[in-house]
Chain A
Amino acid sequence: MQKLRTLFCTVLVGVALSGCGTLPDARPFADATGALAASVRSSGQALTDSIIETGAAVPEEEQSAYTQLAAKFQKTWAVRVQAAQGAVDYANAIADLMKAGKQGGETVKTVGDSLSGLASAVNIPLAGAAFDAAEDLARFIVDRIAIVRASQSLEDALAKAQPAVDRMAEHLASESEQRLKPTLDSAYKNLRSSINNRYGPDAGFAQQVEARRDQLRTEAMKDNAKVAQLQEFDRLRATLAVSLNERDQALDKAAAAYRTRLQLINALTAATRSWAAAHRDLASAVREKRNVNATELQDTVLELKDLIKKVRAL
């Protein structure tokens, strides 16, 4: 009979623990939120750097406008950075609730250990097999209840947050496309304009020298006296080439920085859309899994009755 009892408890626990419902994986949303926060910060910094760089390159009388603009932009963008931190807090709160929902089993184990310890301390015998089975069954039940509660709370929270998440995503995506990118583009063009202006006299002179040199070459073919003059022009041309090479390097550097910053801002648009989509996916996953636990407990109860009959028939 002892064997039968042990077998009964084992089968009972097996039935009790089968088909446990779970909360969905919040990791994709947490990752998308992290990417969004990083993207908001880096995009803002990229545009600030671009404005400051352009400000340093323009003639002195134009510089203060860029300093003021960079400061105003930083102050305005700081609100978005704070918002992104709010999104991270929100993702953490979701993770915390899910963790609380998944801790039911651990709590039962802790309570079970304490109860067992207390029973031993006060010399109350607890039947070993029954106690083990009770602990497993309790873990199953408490797990279910905690998951159902977490799932319901989460569904409500996600539904409440969805309009705000959509509004934030819409704002960020629109600001990225309609404000950040054109501003970055203008800053880059003004930087190019300043570089070209700075080297403009050399470039213009080089054009004149080139035209005169071509003319001298033709003349030198007919008149040797022109050869020395041609050599002077060649030296002048070489000196101008150094300056124009500097200009080209400055333009290349500006273009490379522009491309990198543009990629960051494009990434913000993508990160924003991914974040909103991950939120919708999470909400949908929570909705779909919510009903699992509510009915399974009753099914288990019915199976329990059938099982008793089978155990009895052994």
Chain B
Amino acid sequence: MNFDDLASIDWTACENTAQWARLLNDLLALGAQADSTDRRDRLADGLDAFANKSNSVDMDIIKKLDAAAGKAARALRLQNMEDNVSQLAADTPAFQAAVKDVNAVSAGLKKEASLLRAETFSAAVQTLTGTITSLNALGQAVNAADDAKIVAAAAQAVQSVQKLRALLEKPA
């Protein structure tokens, strides 16, 4: 028997306990070649199928054969489970490296948010006081009905705003 035969076992072919025992022996012999996840899975399914299909009037013997088949099937799958968990553990450092990068960006964002709050406060004070002065001057110019003064006052307001913006947008 080989792994390709597992999918096409004729479970009705065994007519007595000895034949069932021989079939189980063949299945267990494949265990030595179950060197991959896929092979272990297929062999485990075959062994469980054996435990479910086997039947004989020799109840005690069949019970022992079924228990052996089930135990072997579970051991093969347990090995696959252990391999998967070991692989997860082996992948952990690469995963942690990605997490470290994200954490570093988070720390930068938090720092930037604090800085931005402080700068916003500073900008609010400067802009507000500056624009009050500028607009007061602008209002007086409008009252004076003098085009040249209006334009000069507006230019002054615009300049102070642009200066402030340039200052705040300058890289830290």
Contacts and interface: CB of A to CB of B under 8 A. Distances in A.
Interface in B111-136: 112-114, 116-117, 119-121, 123-125, 127-129, 131-132, 134-136
Contacts of B57: 208
Contacts of A304: 154, 158
B105 A90 contact: yes
Contact of A82 (B55, B99, B120): B99
A193 B48 contact: yes
A167 to B, nearest CB: 4
B154 A308 contact: yes
Contact of A204 (B63, B71, B82): B63
Contacts of A179: 84-85, 87-88
A65 B55 contact: no
A5 B136 CA distance: 11
Given A97-B112, A197-B66, A69 B85 contact: yes
B128 to A, nearest CB: 4
A277 interface: no
A190 B74 contact: yes
A126 B132 contact: yes
B91 interface: yes
A90 B48 contact: no
A130 B136 contact: yes
Interface residues of B, number: 82
Q: Is chain B's interface secondary structure helix, strand, loop, or mixed overall?
A: helix
Contact of B135 (A9, A107, A187): A9
Contact of B37 (A104, A130, A182, A203): A182
Contact of B95 (A145, A171, A190, A301): A171
B55 A208 contact: yes
A233 interface: no
Contact of B102 (A87, A92, A171, A205): A87
A214 interface: no
B63 A201 contact: yes
A171 B98 CA distance: 10
A154 B154 CA distance: 34
A86 B107 CA distance: 11
Given A5-B142, A72-B89, A141-B165, A62 B74 contact: yes
B135 A137 contact: yes
Contact of B120 (A104, A180, A297): A104
A93 interface: yes
Interface of B: 37, 41, 44-45, 48, 51-52, 54-57, 59, 62-63, 66-67, 70-71, 73-75, 77-78, 80-82, 84-85, 87-89, 91-92, 94-99, 101-103, 105-110, 112-114, 116-117, 119-121, 123-125, 127-129, 131-132, 134-136, 139, 142-143, 145, 147, 150-151, 154, 158, 161-162, 164-165, 168-169
8 contacts: A79-B96, A82-B99, A87-B102, A168-B95, A189-B48, A200-B70, A304-B158, A312-B150
Given A77-B88, A145-B169, 15 more contacts: A73-B88, A90-B102, A90-B103, A93-B105, A100-B112, A104-B123, A130-B136, A154-B109, A161-B101, A175-B88, A186-B80, A187-B81, A193-B74, A197-B67, A207-B55
